[in-house]
Amino acid sequence: MVEIQTHAYTLTMRFIYLAAILLLGNLIGQATSFAVIYWAIYDSQAAGMLIHIIMQKMSYLAVLLSFILLGFANLLVKRQLPIYKRVRAPLLGLLLCSAIPSIALIPRMDYLREFALSDGLPVMASPLAGYFLSLNLITALLFITQLFMAFLVVLRLRSLP
């Protein structure tokens, strides 16, 4: 006779999976909106400003969901479900990759943009264009890392019993 194991934390495990799918959907929707904005707006500086505003606001949601997921994963590990240790490292990476652009990089890029506009130049024509491009590249790489980490979390949660 086959015995089916049920955990006392089935509802929590389902909530974690649902929150991870919502997080991944948030990031995919964010990437789609970036593509649409760059396609729809002819001025690349205005499109970049709009994208950074969206990225900063949506990153707060990603940080919140990552923090909740990490808390529940730690709770389940403490309650004798060590299989959730597999999700903690990508969640921590996701938390950091979401927080760094929204807290440090995007406000700095906004300052550089305003500084260049105060001189009457677009940011790409100012002397700070190289610094701005490097910050923009780091932000894009961190966003791609966020997508990868969220996908990895969903895959690892899906493979759990």
The answer to whether the beta carbons of residues 64 and 143 sit under 8 Å apart is no
pLDDT digits (tens, 9 = 90+) for 64-87: 999 999 999 999 899 888 888 999
Contact 87, 156 (CB under 8 A): yes
Q: Sign of torsion, CA 67 70 76 79?
A: negative
Is there a domain that residue 143 lies in? yes
- At residue 133, the pLDDT reads 93
Q: Enter the tokens of residue 31.
A: 């990437």
3-state DSSP assignment of residue 160: coil
Q: Measure the CA–CA gap between 62 and 161, rounded to whole angstroms.
A: 25
Residues 6 or more apart from 153 whose CB is under 8 A from it? 20, 23, 24, 69, 87, 90, 91, 94
Report yes or no on 90 lying in a domain: yes
Q: What is the count of structural domains for the chain? A: 1
Range of the domain at 97: 10-158
Nearest residue to 55 (alpha-carbon basis) of 129, 154, 144 = 144
- The predicted model scores a pTM of 0.86
Tell whether 129 is covered by a domain: yes
Does a structural domain hold residue 47?
yes
Is 2 a member of any domain?
A: no
Q: Would 45 be classed as within a structural domain? A: yes
| Confidence band, pLDDT 50/70/90 cuts, at residue 7 | low
Rounded distance between C-alpha atoms, residue 156 and residue 69, angstroms: 13
Nearest to 24 by CA among 114, 85, 87: 87
In a domain, 38, yes or no: yes
| Per-residue pLDDT band at 48 (split at 50, 70, 90) | confident
Tens digit of each residue's pLDDT (9 = 90 or more) over 22-41? 999 999 999 999 899 989 98
On whether residue 5 sits in a domain, the answer given is no
Residue 1 has pLDDT above 60, yes or no: no
Give the chain's length. Answer: 161
